[in-house]
Structure 1
Amino acid sequence: MDDLYELTLPRDTVFGEGSLECLGRRASKLGRSALLVIGRGSVRRSGALDKAMKLLKGSGIRVTLYEGVEPDPSIQTVDEGSKVCRRESCDLVIGLGGGSVMDAAKMMAILAKNPGSAREYQMGERAIEQPGLPYIAIPTTSGTGSEGNRVSVLTNKEERIKKSVAHPYMVPHLAIVDPSLTLSLPPKLTAMTGIDALSHAIESYVSRRAQPFTEGIGLRAIKLIGEDLPRAVEKGDDISARGSLAMASYLAGIALNAGAGAAHMLAHPLGALFGIAHGEAIALVLCEVMRRNLDYATEKFADIAMALGENTSGLSARSAAELAVDAVSRLCQRIGLTRRLRDFHLKEEDFSEILKGVEKSTSHLKETNPCPITEELLLEILKASM
């Protein structure tokens, strides 16, 4: 049925400046022994880790720290963390960090109650059958929206792919979205995570599985990012701009119920094969993907143009839609995401390997991208992004 929708929504969210203060009180309702998962040091330097530890211990919660989750977290890291979780008899998992940390932590919570390796679930060899441990997501970036969705994107080094695991059991039991935790984010990382959030909002809005709910929150996210991403990049201590981006990231993450599209089809293998940061990979291909989708979601791209502040008065729907691409291109220029594939030393001979990566990891997104996806189309996008 064309009108049959499926939504997986966040269970509980606390949003706003200073909301981290509720961590101890809220966590104590979910468990008494927490595995606290962090990355490679930024939450130490910002003071967020010390604050979180103090709040948890002040509420009588025993904390086991799992540190060192890398960008684009690996199967090995997730498997190791789940073993620590079981060994220490943790009954709660908390991810404090960016999208990589949150994705790793939510999969660790699942593996604490389900057998096997994360690889088996990623490759479809096992199905998630049991709810994981209660999981709290605390984002320190505004990009992936992992705090509001059921997806974990993991790197499989053996297969050289980035591929998602998705299940309703993976939605966080609690998301604490405190914009003040993003104030120390450097301009480049602010730009890359912001463009990732924008791509979630745009691709979900024009998705063939879009629905009224995802359309509404996706379009709102687009507007917030267009207005406040440049401000956050240029003035990182602007808490109002940081709050807008935190909300936009959260909304766009939920909008991914409708699925992503060709920009993500290509960005994942670009990251897995060539080590290109996800937000940068998105920026490399997003405008070219949008151009090829214009004729398949013309009125929606006109909506996107208006949400990004373009004056579409008196224009045809097609002309207005083209302004959406122009607006995203200018936004990328303004925030410093201007590199091309050639700047990462890619050559056209690498394209066949990228296409193989698409087939192994993101081919399911063919179902949601507006334009029919062929190898020829993907090659055309890659060539135009050189």
Structure 2
Amino acid sequence: MTQSTQCLTRTLFGCDGLATWLARGSRTRVTLLIDPGVLGSEIVARVRRQVAKAERGEQLVVLSGPGTLLGVLELAERLTGAELVVGVGGGSLLDQAKLLALLHGRPSARARLTVPQRSGMLVLPPGTERALGLVAVPTTLGTGAELSTAACLEYPQGKRLIAGECLRPDIAVLDPVATDTLPPELVSEAVLEALFRLVSMYAGDHADLPTEDALTEALAVRLVSAGHAVRRAREAGTPVERPLRAEIAKLSGLTHQEWLHLGRGAWANKGWLIANEVSVALGVRKMRAVAAVLPPLWRAIAGGDERLGSARRLARLWSSLRAVDPDGLPGDPAGGMAALIDSWRVERRLTPDDHTDDDTGDDVLDAIAGRIVRAWGAGLPMLGGLTRDEVRELLTEVLRTPEATRC
């Protein structure tokens, strides 16, 4: 039976209900895709016990490294006899699990993913169906990959975003045991990632939508409150407890829900496009790039660049977020977000020196601006008409010289 492209993901809070769900279905062969970093962990043991309890056969596959086009294509060919994929790992592994479930036994899907194009985004046509069932068990926080309809994949020309309803998992298992060993600094980054995803759609669009706005504002306030709670735990040298991590996982997943963004422009989150290319070009973690991009992006929006977003809506949103910590955060949205990121101890300072080649700072800025415009602009709609020079100007605020960084 093929997977419906319109079904919503069912969320299980803990692993206990997984065996019941597996036993009710007709699929008897389960392929476990495991991140090597969690192979001997309690969450993997729990998932395997559920598979055994449901009396399903198990094939264990350990994936290492970032997902690449070639790697996913080769593994899809090797997974003979698979009926259901259970991915246990971080966002990259879950993205690979999604694409393997799509590609297995589907030449048409393979052709779609390998068609030459310069765009950084590949949209799967409506009606595209997955070949396999899919269960996602995240072992990190922030990406919300277990509830999203998108996946990132490394192509020879760079990272590409693949989107389609068929990439939405059947089941998402949110178990705080899965993040027991997650370093506290990565929990802070996770909250920022979810907040960035949420507020970028809100501030990047000009339309006032009362219901969607109210829901987004409430969720953003909850995320900021959670981020401050993580900060307090880190300052006290105490663990980020399971209930708080469970709440962050729930909030992160909610940021992907379509009802938050009904009526929004498809390309409202231009910050993600820019941060993605900065991350790849400099070889730094995605959230370090996001943290560097967000304050300059907000400064440009507040300065009146309507292609990037609405200054009025940004001010309204920041007023709500600042109210969570009015004494510690400035009233200016860009300065306030920079202060919030710093208070959460997320590194946001990038310089051209982070580039590993011998290029000068100007060369690095030119190269990254070129990457961004090639993948998302120059006739493509994502950048809203921003030119290479305009993108480069924004990057001068994102990538500071060492002297400016120290000031």
The reply to whether TM is greater than 0.5 is: yes
Distance 1:311 1:51, change over 3 A: closer
Distance (Å, rounded) in 2 between the aligned partners of 1:256 and 1:122 = 30
Match of 1:340 among 349, 352, 364: 349
**Residues 363 and 187 of structure 1: is their aligned pair in 2 closer, same or farther, counting only changes over 3 Å?**
farther
2: CA distance between counterparts of 1:322 and 1:121? 47
Matched-pair contact (CA < 8 Å) for 1:150–1:166: yes
Q: What corresponds to 1:74 in structure 2?
A: 68
Tell me the alpha carbon deviations over residues 149-208 of structure 1, each in whole angstroms, 9 at most, x when there is no partner.
21111111x21x111111111111122222342232112322332222111011111233
Cα pair distance change 1:256/1:175, threshold 3 Å: farther
Q: Say whether 1:91 aligns with 2:89.
A: no
Residue number in structure 1 paired with 2:365 = 351
Whether 2:245 is the aligned partner of 1:264: answer no
Counterpart-to-counterpart distance in 2, 1:273 and 1:183: 32
Separation in 1, partners of 2:216, 2:78: 37
> Out of 242, 246, 249, which is 2:249 matched to?
246
Percent of pairs identical after alignment?
Answer: 20
Asked if 1 retains the 8 angstrom alpha-carbon contact of 2:152 and 2:159, the reply is: yes
Judge conservation of contact 2:193–2:287 (CA < 8 Å) in 1.
yes
CA–CA separation in structure 1 for the residues paired with 2:135 and 2:144: 14
CA–CA separation in structure 1 for the residues paired with 2:335 and 2:87: 37
Q: Which amino acid aligns with 1:221?
A: L
SS at match of 1:223: helix
- Other structure's SS at 2:15 match: helix
Q: 1:134 corresponds to which residue? A: 133
Counterpart residue number, 2:288:
280
1:184 and 1:236 mapped to 2: Cα distance? 10
- Supply the AA of the counterpart residue of 1:78: V
Q: Which residue of 1 aligns with 2:92?
A: 100
Residue 217 of structure 1 deviates from its aligned partner by: 4.3
2:152 matched to 1:186? Answer: no
Over alpha carbons, which structure has the higher Rg? 2
Aligned equivalent of 1:3: none
Distance of aligned partners of 1:82 and 1:338 in 2 relative to their CA distance in 1, 3 Å threshold: same
Distance 2:133 2:105 in 1: 10
Does residue 36 of the first structure (1) align with residue 65 of the second (2)? no
Aligned to 2:144: 145
CA offset digits 1:65-109 (Å, max 9, x no partner): 2212424x2112322332232x2x111112212211111111110
Shift of 1:34: 1.6
Please state how far the C-alpha of 1:240 moved relative to its aligned partner. 3.0
In structure 1, the residue matched to 2:403 is none
The 2-side partners of 1:171 and 1:212 are apart by: 27
Corresponding residue of 1:176: 173
Rate the CA distance shift 1:214–1:352 in 2: closer, same or farther, 3 A.
Answer: farther
Corresponding residue for 2:229? 231
CA shift, 1:27, in A, is 2.7
Q: Cα distance 1:339–1:45, how it changes in 2: closer, same or farther (>3 A)?
A: farther
The answer for the alignment partner of 1:328 in structure 2 is: 337
* Cα distance change of structure 1 residues 218 and 97 upon mapping to structure 2, 3 Å threshold: farther
Of 262-271 and 227-236, deviating more is: 227-236
Structure 2 residue runs without a partner (length 5+): 356-360, 401-407
Letter in 2 for 1:153: C
Judged with a 3 Å threshold, the aligned counterparts in structure 2 of structure 1 residues 349 and 326 are, in CA distance, closer, same or farther, namely same
Q: CA deviation at 1:378?
A: 1.7
* TM-score normalised by the chain length of structure 2: 0.79
State how far apart, in whole Å, the 1-side matches of 2:353 and 2:18 are: 41
In the alignment, the residues of structure 2 paired with residue 33 and residue 106 of structure 1 have an alpha-carbon distance, to the nearest angstrom, of 17
RMSD: 3.2
Q: Give yes or no for contact 1:221–1:249 (8 Å, CA) kept in 2.
A: no
Relative to its length, the structure with more helix (as a share) is 1
2:132 corresponds to which letter in structure 1?
Answer: L
Give TM-score scaled by structure 1 length. Answer: 0.83
Aligned length: 364
